[in-house]
Amino acid sequence: MADTRYLKKRRQSWYANIPVPRDLQEQLGKDHIVQSLKTRDLSVAQRRRWSHVEEAHATFDRHRGSQGTTPEEIEDRAWKAYEQALREAEEGGLDEEGINLYIGLLGDQIDDGKLDEAEEAEAWAKITAMHGRRAALRGQPFQPPPTFGPRGIDRVTLRPVSRKKTAGDPLPFSEAAQRYLEETQRDPDAALTQQTVGQSEAVFRLFKDFCRDAPLVDITRAEAGEFLSTVATLDRHWGRSPKTKERSLEDLLELYGGHPTGLSNRTLNRYASVLGVVFKWARKRGLHDGENPFEGQSRKGAKTRKTGWLPFTMAELSTLLSSLRPQVAPNAHTVDTALAWAVWIGAYSGMRLNEICSLDVADVRKEKGVWFFDVADAKTEAGVRRVPVHSVLLEADLLDYRKRVGSGSLWPGLKPGGPDRKLSWYTTKRFTRVRRGLGLTRDRLAFHSLRNNVGGALEAARVPESEAVQILGHEKLSMSYAVYSLGLELPALKEVVEKIDYPTDA
């Protein structure tokens, strides 16, 4: 593969500066091939150079001749041309008019009689790909021929000549990534969330485009590092457009590249981790014997205090609680009526928003004289817990509200949404709009900030951490408590919850 030596800047535009092999310099009359990349953006130039490099090497191959090319090698080249033509047609959104024009141009090349055996096979392969593209656009099935080359039948076996196989039949990146995801999703109990799958697929698409879907064995550490440097210039919101899946990396760099801040190191480290997992998986399955090019590619991340959620100030919390008053008997159950209760419950329990939104009427129960939330739908095993209902919530008539709902979801107005069909999907979005509407626009504020407020309140009340984690749903830090303790009983947990107190309660 080419490297940055093949890029050269002239005035404000970048050029591909490709050295000619020594054995062809006299024949071609030059020692370099220079072609404009028609862009001022270095990231875009780094991507565009590949097609020019491939074109140059194809020129070198033509001048060397292909007399020694075997039928298997011709078929291999033709099939690669077939697959590449389909990819480029999809990325370019080629319609039937464009297909007809493309087929005509290729037909003219064949009719000129100047193509060698391998080039003609590649041209026929591209024409076949266009016929397949047309059939797909019309919703019709298409079956490509077994061979493309003129020597398609082996005269000894009388069978179609197959593609040339290399040792181990190297696995393309996209196939490895797809097989990895399929395996992770096989067991529903161990599957990744659809949100995580979607995020992974987005990163896979970027890298597939960057490396031109190269086999795992051909992907180097330098290329992995260059990929991270290239995407680092993207605006952090590059993936929000519904058209993102239809756009190539080059298009995304044109639209969102060159951002003054770009992606955070934390995001880049997530990209490196996601991609590295594919190589780790392939190695475990005996599909890749090389190194993991993304291993050790992580960048220095920001300290937690610079990236984590912040608690609301007492003034902000007072504004939030006073503006969102829970209704015991709303005229209609909506996202807003559920949100008001959710904010108060979050502020006086530390429960996560999805834990609150997933509650059924039956999950608000009484045992040993204590009303509590039975949290079963939690993010982690430690999150499965019983959280006593704070007296503030009882005074707000939560139990009367519960009785009026009757059965089923405690929040009848909520509908599932998002890739994982979570009941908190629309509530999260609504909370953000409400918070901003109240002027609470500081960075790093979210519903999760209420958990920070609860943690701060418990710490201010001198509640031991081993007790606080049982309310918040965190793992116990001490092995002694984690292994040998069954946790506090409900009456004791009730005492802990009642210590959640704010100086300026609304």
**107-152, pLDDT tens digit by residue?**
888 777 777 778 888 888 898 899 989 888 888 877 777 777 665 5
Q: Which of 26-40, 379-393, 403-417 has the highest mean pLDDT?
A: 403-417
* 485 has pLDDT over 50: no
* pTM (predicted TM-score): 0.52
User: What does the block give as tokens for 155?
Assistant: 């005269």
* 282 has pLDDT over 70: yes
Residue 235: phi, psi to the nearest 5?
-60, 140
Rounded to the nearest angstrom, the gap between the alpha carbon of residue 343 and the centroid of all alpha carbons in its chain is: 30
For position 505, what pLDDT does the model report?
47
Once rounded to an integer, what is the mean pLDDT over residues 474-482? 46
Nearest by Cα to 72 from 169, 152, 171: 152
Show the 3-state SS of 369-432: CEEEEEECCCCCHHHCEEEECCHHHHHCCHHHHHHHHCCCECCCCCCCECCCCECCHHHHHHHH
Once rounded to an integer, what is the mean pLDDT over residues 481-490? 58
* 7 has pLDDT over 90: no
Which residue did the predictor score with more confidence, 233 or 159? Answer: 233
User: Measured between alpha carbons, how far is 276 from 298 in angstroms, rounded to an integer?
Assistant: 11
For position 252, what pLDDT does the model report?
86
Element spanning 49, H or E: helix 42-64
Which residue did the predictor score with more confidence, 422 or 339? Answer: 339
For position 239, what pLDDT does the model report?
83
For position 111, what pLDDT does the model report?
77
For position 113, what pLDDT does the model report?
74
User: Measured between alpha carbons, how far is 386 from 490 in angstroms, rounded to an integer?
Assistant: 8
For position 480, what pLDDT does the model report?
37
Q: What percent of the chain has pLDDT over 90?
A: 41
Element spanning 323, H or E: helix 314-323
* 413 has pLDDT over 70: yes
For position 491, what pLDDT does the model report?
94
Rounded to the nearest angstrom, the gap between the alpha carbon of residue 113 and the centroid of all alpha carbons in its chain is: 47
Range from 319-333, 342-356, 440-454, 461-475 carrying the lowest mean pLDDT: 461-475
For position 26, what pLDDT does the model report?
76
Q: 347-359, pLDDT tens digit by residue?
A: 999 999 999 999 9
- Of the pLDDT bands very low, low, confident and very high (cuts 50, 70, 90), residue 479 is very low
